[in-house]
Structure 1
Amino acid sequence: MGIGLVDPILPAISNELGASPSETMLLFTSYLFITGIAMFFTSWVSGRIGVKKTLLAGLVLVVVFAALAGSAGSVDAIIGFRAGWGLGNALFISTALAAIVGAASGGSRQAIVLYEAALGIGLAVGPLIGGLLGEISWRGPFFGTAALMCVALIAIIALLRQPKDAPKPQHVSIFASFRALRNPALRGLAIVAFFYNFGFFVLLAYSPYPLAAAAKAAGLDFGAHELGLVFFGWGLALAITSVLVAPILTRRFGLRPVLFTMLTALTVCLVLLGLLADVLSGLIAVVIVSGLLLGVLNTALTEAVMEATDLPRNVASSTYSGVRFLGGAIAPAVAGPIAESFGAPVPYWVGAAAVVVAIVMLGIAGHHLAHIGRPHETTEGEAQAIAAGDA
């Protein structure tokens, strides 16, 4: 929920705190940058203190920094508090599914489907709740997040029990994730994800501003609630395809063909968003359609990372996710200045160019990915990879 919850209130924060869109979009940059850096070390942390303590540490950080962001008096303070929020996010997400699979009684496959469904619902509902609370005050979504994460914290303390025969945490080197980048298959997929996530977060972090501007030009009142509804549709589309459509496509056509097709379609969507930057109905339609593509891409890339390397899965997936989030962190930081200097459509076209680079890199890495399709090593490894990859 936290990924999209802030999206509908970005224009409101700009108006209330006298910040430019470029400054406000740094809320995404600080969050994603710290999440990305922390991902390189989460496998080491969980190996030292265990899954449950890692989950609790992540939730405590999210509660504290979300509440601090809600009580902040300047956009600079919110940017700083979002960085602490990102650290908590990395610790929690990187271990969440491994904990679910370890505690499940109905089998790992059902547990993974439950996790994917919960993740998708969160991505959809986050902007909706953010919009509803944002209509009251821009501070509402931050305090709402803190309250919900308090509930999660209490639930884990009270309900999560480690099985008696659970293996001890596996100790890994603090530098394991950096060494993992020597693997050419993992390095290739990480670079693909870096450029893909640049396009992803241009769409997610920048789109509220063209939407609000197009609505204003049309004489419509388009506040946090309306933006929340648009991104609810986007998140719902993403949730449906990530859980229901992506597995069917990847098993019928293969991972690489699906990735090439979806990346190409996402490029087209970003180009269209640039062409329709002042047309409200066009922007809404393309944003929601793009969610269908992003759901497939997220799942397919995660599967590819699971299959591509013989490295320990928690290390490989954390490394991949760290690089991926760094690509997402850069996008909001550059989208605002580009729009101010060259016009509203241009950030979308830069995002499209980044996705084209991802397509080229996927082609270059092809000979390292020929073995994709072998069975997963373990269900625990599958869980760890999906958890970090989907974060």
Structure 2
Amino acid sequence: MPLPVVFVLLTVMIDTMGVGLIMPVMPDLIKEVTGGNLANAALWGGVLTAAFAAMQFLFAPFLGSLSDRFGRRPVLLLSLAVMAVDYVVMAFAGSIWLLLVGRIIGGITAATHATASATMADLSEPGKESEGFGLVAAAVGLGFIAGPLIGGALGEFGTRAPFWAAAVLAAANLILGWVVLRETVTDDIRRPFTWRRANPFGSFYDLSKLPGIGRGVISFFLYQFSFAVYPAVWAYYGKAQFGWNAGMIGLSLALFGVSMVVVQGVLIRAILARFGDRGTAILGLVFSAIGFGALAVIDSGIVALILTPLAAMGAVFSPALQGLMSVKLGPDRQGELQGILGSASAVAMAIAPLMMGGIFAHYAAPDAAWYFPGAPFILSLVLTLVAMILFLAPTSQTQKS
């Protein structure tokens, strides 16, 4: 695998790991700096998470548009440098307000996921962009697996240790990128920077005027929203529906993460070769719908584990859809496209846990009129079917402006 591709994948993985790496120590760290109890720490944890997601939403198109104008290399390297410094500041933070500032800056630097995806599109052979996006998605899966595991282990050495580790990882990847990454934006595809395209609302408005792109972004958002049911309620669902303990829940999450990596990093190439981008996207939606529908009603933990690889197959939808839209827009708008997709994903990940958690709490309450812990998966099923309808609906062919 070429070193520039390795750098891009490591960048995405470190972005993802940065969240999971510090997650295990955040309750104790927040209690430490506020002097409050666990309930108070949970409230502040929600504020920090929301701030992180909000910055990703706002800045993904901004950084993507900057990379279309000034190049991927300076945006990625500068973000990694700021990220490393930010983690050092958080390692020394003695107040909740400094932690909040750190999460705001961290959300901005992690918004380079969009720029990394645009770089992968630049580095991919024509017609094989979806394979590159599959590798990016696999790197995200690895980050989700490795982050909490490493963070939990480092947490034994104190609440600040994971921040130092995250800083070292960001700095090491910065050095690698400085050495191996060439600029992929040439004068032929360079675009002028405009504030209209650099914000998620203006960018979406411009892109939505192109045939199929607006629906594609909405379908992407709906899929990300439905997929968020796993991190939002899986642990609670497993306990309520199957009586799993913490160890079993962790095992099931690890199985899901590994399945995601295998699907998006390995199997997607064969699937794309057999079905193409469009067919692969449809296949992903079908597998997702089957997985959500089954998980809503089954009462066997063994069956849930068997279904895990099937549910993970649905993850081929995102890279296939990204590939379709990437080809439609051409090389000069990759940063803008990946920026708006990054914003859509950030909004989904910020809102979905609140809605999914609320639905679960209502239907899994001991005094619920209808005890139905699988209710959030019904919502995910409905959203997936809506995404499928939007994706399959014919679009009017208008000239690209």
Contact 1:267 1:356 in 2 (8 A): yes
Equivalent position of 2:16 in the other structure: 3
Contact 1:120 1:235 in 2 (8 A): no
Equivalent position of 2:297 in the other structure: 275
Matched, 1:190 2:211: no
1:149–1:281: structure 2 CA closer, same or farther, 3 Å change rule? farther
Equivalent position of 1:302 in the other structure: 322
Equivalent position of 2:356 in the other structure: 335
Q: Deviations over 1:13-65 (max 9, x none)?
A: 56885148787566654433322322222233224543222112221343344
Equivalent position of 2:35 in the other structure: none
1:6-45 equivalences in 2 (<5 Å): 6=19, 13=26, 17=31, 18-19=38-39, 24=45, 29-45=50-66
Which residue of the other structure, out of 203, 207, 210, is the alignment partner of 1:180?
207
CA distance in 2, matches of 1:38, 1:70: 24
Contact 2:56 2:346 in 1 (8 A): yes
1:283–1:313: structure 2 CA closer, same or farther, 3 Å change rule? same
CA distance in 2, matches of 1:124, 1:86: 19
Q: What 5-or-longer segments of structure 1 have no aligned partner?
A: 372-391
Equivalent position of 2:247 in the other structure: 222
Instruction: Find the residue that maps to 1:367 and give its secondary structure.
Output: coil
User: For this pair of structures, how many residues does the alignment match?
Assistant: 360
Equivalent position of 2:391 in the other structure: 362
Contact 1:199 1:352 in 2 (8 A): yes
1:346–1:126: structure 2 CA closer, same or farther, 3 Å change rule? same
Equivalent position of 2:381 in the other structure: 352
Contact 2:114 2:341 in 1 (8 A): no
Return 187-196 or 66-75, whichever deviates more. 66-75
Which residue of the other structure, out of 87, 94, 107, is the alignment partner of 2:114?
94
CA distance in 1, matches of 2:128, 2:155: 39
CA distance in 1, matches of 2:330, 2:125: 24
Return 70-79 or 181-190, whichever deviates more. 70-79
Instruction: Find the residue that maps to 1:207 and give its secondary structure.
Output: helix
Q: Deviations over 1:115-139 (max 9, x none)?
A: 8546524522542342243145284
Matched, 1:242 2:264: yes
CA distance in 2, matches of 1:164, 1:311: 9
Q: Deviations over 1:230-286 (max 9, x none)?
A: 44432332232224333433343343343233213212322333335x865455444
1:75–1:165: structure 2 CA closer, same or farther, 3 Å change rule? closer
1:183–1:230: structure 2 CA closer, same or farther, 3 Å change rule? same
Counterpart residue identity of residue 114, structure 2: S
Return 297-306 or 77-86, whichever deviates more. 77-86
CA distance in 2, matches of 1:275, 1:11: 31
**Percent of aligned pairs with the same amino acid:** 18
Give TM-score, length-normalised by structure 1: 0.73
Matched, 1:156 2:177: yes
Counterpart residue identity of residue 141, structure 2: L
Q: Deviations over 1:48-87 (max 9, x none)?
A: 5432221122213433444555666788976664443221
Instruction: Find the residue that maps to 1:242 and give its secondary structure.
Output: helix
Which residue of the other structure, out of 231, 254, 261, is the alignment partner of 1:204?
231
Return 115-124 or 230-239, whichever deviates more. 115-124
1:148–1:15: structure 2 CA closer, same or farther, 3 Å change rule? closer
CA distance in 2, matches of 1:256, 1:163: 27
1:205–1:70: structure 2 CA closer, same or farther, 3 Å change rule? farther
Give TM-score, length-normalised by structure 2: 0.71
Equivalent position of 2:145 in the other structure: 127
Equivalent position of 2:76 in the other structure: 55
Equivalent position of 1:318 in the other structure: 339
CA distance in 2, matches of 1:207, 1:132: 21
Counterpart residue identity of residue 147, structure 1: V
Counterpart residue identity of residue 324, structure 2: A
1:165–1:252: structure 2 CA closer, same or farther, 3 Å change rule? closer
Equivalent position of 2:8 in the other structure: none
CA distance in 1, matches of 2:129, 2:75: 20
CA distance in 2, matches of 1:74, 1:200: 34
Instruction: Find the residue that maps to 2:219 and give its secondary structure.
Output: helix
Q: Deviations over 1:335-363 (max 9, x none)?
A: 22333333243333222222222122223
Instruction: Find the residue that maps to 2:209 and give its secondary structure.
Output: coil
1:95-110 equivalences in 2 (<5 Å): 95-96=115-116
Instruction: Find the residue that maps to 2:395 and give its secondary structure.
Output: helix
Contact 1:185 1:309 in 2 (8 A): no
CA distance in 1, matches of 2:283, 2:95: 43
Instruction: Find the residue that maps to 2:67 and give its secondary structure.
Output: helix
CA distance in 2, matches of 1:306, 1:165: 17
1:21–1:360: structure 2 CA closer, same or farther, 3 Å change rule? farther
1:264–1:340: structure 2 CA closer, same or farther, 3 Å change rule? same
CA distance in 2, matches of 1:319, 1:112: 17
Q: Deviations over 1:358-385 (max 9, x none)?
A: 1222233x335899xxxxxxxxxxxxxx
1:324–1:167: structure 2 CA closer, same or farther, 3 Å change rule? same
